[in-house]
Each structure stands twice: as C-alpha cells, then as structure tokens.
A and B are shown apart, each in its own frame.
Chain A
Amino acid sequence: GQQLNQSPQSMFIQEGEDVSMNCTSSSIFNTWLWYKQDPGEGPVLLIALYKAGELTSNGRLTAQFGITRKDSFLNISASIPSDVGIYFCAGQLISQFYFGTGTSLTVIP
C-alpha cells in the first residue's frame, strides 16, 4: 500500500507554544485530511484539503495541501492542554484513504 511518512513521531511542548507537523508521500493524492484521535476513540476530522496549494484554517489549526500534491502540513497555534492526542494525516487516492503513522502531542501546562 501507499506509505505516508509523518513527522515528528512525538512532541512535548509547553502550553501556549505553536506546533507544526507534516506528512510526505511518494504518491500524489487528490485530497489530504488531518484527524485527531483520543485514546480508545475513533479519529475526528479536523481539516480537509482538496486543491494543491490550498491553505485552510479551522480555529487555531491551519493546514496546507502541498504544491506537489505529495505533502501536507498542520500547524496548531497557541496550544492548550486539550490539544493532547495523536494527529494523523490521510491522503486520498481514487477511493482509498491512506493514513500516516501519527504524531503524538503532549502539552505541558
């Protein structure tokens, strides 16, 4: 299957700091999605991106669809304790969605 490389694998930050994580692929995707997953629950959609170069915000979250269509990044500004969780990128190719390996975020109050 398609391989999505997500980095960093884990992050420990102070409350109030900004966070940046990214996802790269060897394949071109039609859609990029970013999800947050809390322990024992299903992933929750944060942002969906549909066009190369697209920059989309959702509150303190901003994500971009890379120009090459092989990468995407997610930024979180002014982190708060409830941002803790695992963030996954996902790329859509034809009708399948492929997930990255996840970034575990810990916010220290």
Chain B
Amino acid sequence: DAGVTQSPTHLIKTRGQQVTLRCSPKSGHDTVSWYQQALGQGPQFIFQYYEEEERQRGNFPDRFSGHQFPNYSSELNVNALLLGDSALYLCASSTLQTSGRALSYNEQFFGPGTRLTVL
C-alpha cells in the first residue's frame, strides 16, 4: 500500500518563475491538502481539494493555485515566485467520513515534501 508520494524531491527556481508540484494521495484517500513549511516553523495550510474542487483555503495569495484530478492526485502551482516562497511544500491526504450526523475528516498522512528554493 503506497503512502503519499510527492514529486519532485527538490527544486531550484529563480524569482518570477512559475513552479508545479505534484502529489499522489494514499490509497483509499480522496482529499488532498497542501501545506507550506518554512524553516523552523510548523506547516501552514494553503488549501484543500476534494472532488476536484478547492474546498478550503488558508491565508495565501492567488499566486498559489491548485488542481485535483479524477484519480485524486493533485498539483500545486505557484506563479511569480518570490524569495519568501522558499520552503518545504507538504502534501497530506485524508478521507471524509460520516460519524452520525457529523462529517469529519480522518487523520491526515503526509508525503515526504518538495523542497523549493527560490534564488
């Protein structure tokens, strides 16, 4: 059973460029969330995709966009890169489940991350 996979592992870009990061969720999971983790910080939520739509979004500018495909895999796109975008980008997958009348998400599992360096 494959866990969450991400590609590429590392990426170096220059300011102003655009980047696309990819994520495949854990088998059986249908929800993908993206996080940005700066050095020495906890992960910060960027957005979440479910049923090929963005469902939730954190406090990130429109330069950050995403997509989810029918097979549940996802992409994170960042345009007009800034030096401050240098970080570890983490993908996490989960699945929505019902518990009585409440909808809740099962625990998230993270991929190994993509280390983005912007020069």
Contact = CB atoms under 8 A, between A and B. Distances in A.
B48 A96 contact: yes
A94 B57 CA distance: 12
Contacts of B6: 42
Given A97-B33, A99-B42, A101-B42, A41 B112 contact: yes
A81 interface: no
A44 B113 CA distance: 12
**Which among A4, A48, A96 has the greatest number of chain B C-beta atoms within 10 A?**
A96
Q: Is the interface of A mostly helix, strand, loop or mixed?
A: strand
B94 to A, nearest CB: 9
B90 interface: yes
Contacts of A25: none
Interface residues of A, number: 26
Interface string B55-71: 11011000000000000
A43 B41 contact: no
Interface in B36-62: 41-45, 48, 50, 55-56, 58-59
Contacts of B55: 95
Interface of B: 4, 6, 31, 33, 35, 41-45, 48, 50, 55-56, 58-59, 88, 90, 92, 96, 104-105, 107-113, 115
